A and B are shown apart, each in its own frame.
Chain A
Amino acid sequence: MQKGFDQLTYYEMLDIRPDAAPFEVRHAYNAALSMYQPGALASYSFFSEEERQEILSLIETAYRTLISDQARREYDEELIRRGELDVRPEAPPPPKKTAPCFDISRAPVVKAVFNPLPDYRDRIRQSELIGGILAKGELRGADLKQIRTELGVAVEQIAKETKIRRDHLLNMEEDRIARLPATVFLKGFVKSYLKCLCVEPVEELSARYMKTVSSRSPS
């Protein structure tokens, strides 16, 4: 036979570990009451009236001791002195800091920083190549690309300035007719493109480009 109930430690009585938190103590106390109180089915006829009273009062004492910080510390010390509790409970761990809900990386995203585009009007006037392109009767995507490279501007720079997607710009420059956006959008895109590079006159050039595109499209 193992130890009698009255020889158990309070922790064993309530069936909890010595480092149980107060809410666990309370929970264990309720569980013990539901087993041992007079109307409980699980202990029906198991004890005589006196035995039950004795057990209930022990459980009550155990609960009162363990739920109070001061009394519990004293009881722990007593147990350690008796050698029944070998590990002295460590100091509580430092309070936890709030943790972010989402694991979002806060490191700054490395992005190329572009300066606002300067005024290219003078350079366009001086450039013979651009003058030649503008003098032609049609304006292809390839011509746009030539103007851009002549001015030394990256596609990304234009995309940032005009807020047009890079793949649209590339499709326009490479003359991938089938992949171009609908005409309405395309018209706006070309105008923004030309404006951004300060190529003038915008209206006329965009109309020329649209004409070139529509003449080359299959339909």
Chain B
Amino acid sequence: MAHLWPIGGGKGGSGKSFLTSSLGRLSAELGKKTLVIDLDLGSANLHTLVGVPYPQKGLSDFIRKKISRLEDAVVETPQANLFLISGAHDNFDIANLPYEQKIKTLRAITKLKYERILLDLGAGTSFNTLDFFLISQNGIFITTPEPTSVENVYRLIRAIYFRRIRYCFNASQFKALESETDRQFGNGAMNKPIYMMKMIAKTDVEKYRQLQEEFGAYRFKLVINQVRKHDNTALGLQMSRMMERHLGLHVEFAGNVAYDDHVHDAICQQVCFLERYSYTKTAGDLREVGKQVVHATGRQLMLHYM
């Protein structure tokens, strides 16, 4: 079974696609059959980063039923062992993927025969992003050491948390739960997962236990990208402690990735950063992060909620 790693980060420009392409390449270099999927629907970029500027087919062909099986939408990249499902040249309404299409895509992804599958998710906290993230118990959050980015990644994590709670209930139940929480803990409490969980603990012990187990099983990782020299290197550890303490979510800090202008150069020249500038600190950091992903062999539960 494939190891699925969704990569998300809330804010745009924090390096999700770059990290996906780098990790994919590192994994492929180790001989793992690796697939990267561009799920940044509507603003796809991954194909450029993995060296396929004009992919002949992609995810949209599968969604528009031009291709019946998702395997056939895969294109090869110049790198051996690395494959791509591109999101390029899709139609303009793909960003609002209907629910059935999304479920169909999710199912198809879990059936793909690859050793590692990396999902490059879009910015923001749209349902698509959240659902694609919840496909796996693994996942990588990426942020830069800036308040804007930190705020968005916290927001994304909370949104995922809520989405997971939401799956356990049908619409009317959830509505009732929200209003009950609001009534008991005061205004605005329904936006806080702690109060929500407290409420569930009171009303439905069985569901509460199940959710606790579920959240305890998540093995998310946090990467701090674009770390400049004077930045606080302990930020990642602090954030991971914050989430463990106040959200009860285990988010492991996977490492800092140094800021380097050469990344910009490599993307502009459309060459692989890890290849062209393999002796920079940034490349070393990426390899460190890559080790944790490539060698991960943890339990992999998928689509447990469908």
Contacts and interface: CB of A to CB of B under 8 A. Distances in A.
Interface of A: 1-2, 4-5, 15, 34-35, 40-46
Q: 7 shortest A-B CB distances, which residue pairs? A: A42-B238, A45-B151, A1-B197, A44-B147, A44-B150, A35-B238, A42-B239
A42 B155 contact: no
Interface of B: 145-147, 150-151, 154-155, 193-194, 197-198, 201, 212, 232, 234-235, 238-239, 241-242, 245-246, 248
Contacts of A44: 147, 150-151, 154
Nearest to B150: A44
Contact of A46 (B145, B154, B197, B235): B154
A8 B246 CA distance: 12
A137 B232 CA distance: 92
A1 B208 CA distance: 9
B151 A42 contact: no
8 contacts: A4-B194, A5-B245, A15-B241, A34-B234, A41-B232, A42-B238, A42-B242, A45-B151
A1 B165 CA distance: 12
A35 B244 CA distance: 13
A42 B248 contact: no
B235 to A, nearest CB: 6
A35 B242 CA distance: 8
Contacts of A42: 150, 235, 238-239, 241-242
Nearest to B232: A41
A2 B238 CA distance: 19
Contact of A41 (B147, B198, B201, B241): B147
Nearest to B147: A44
A41 B145 CA distance: 8
B189 to A, nearest CB: 11
Contacts of B235: 41-42
A42 B251 CA distance: 14
Nearest to A4: B194
B242 A45 contact: no
A40 B241 CA distance: 14
Contacts of B194: 1, 4
Contacts of B193: 1
Given A2-B248, A42-B238, A45-B155, 18 more contacts: A1-B193, A1-B194, A1-B201, A1-B212, A34-B238, A35-B238, A35-B242, A41-B145, A41-B150, A41-B235, A42-B239, A42-B241, A42-B242, A43-B242, A44-B154, A45-B150, A45-B151, A46-B242
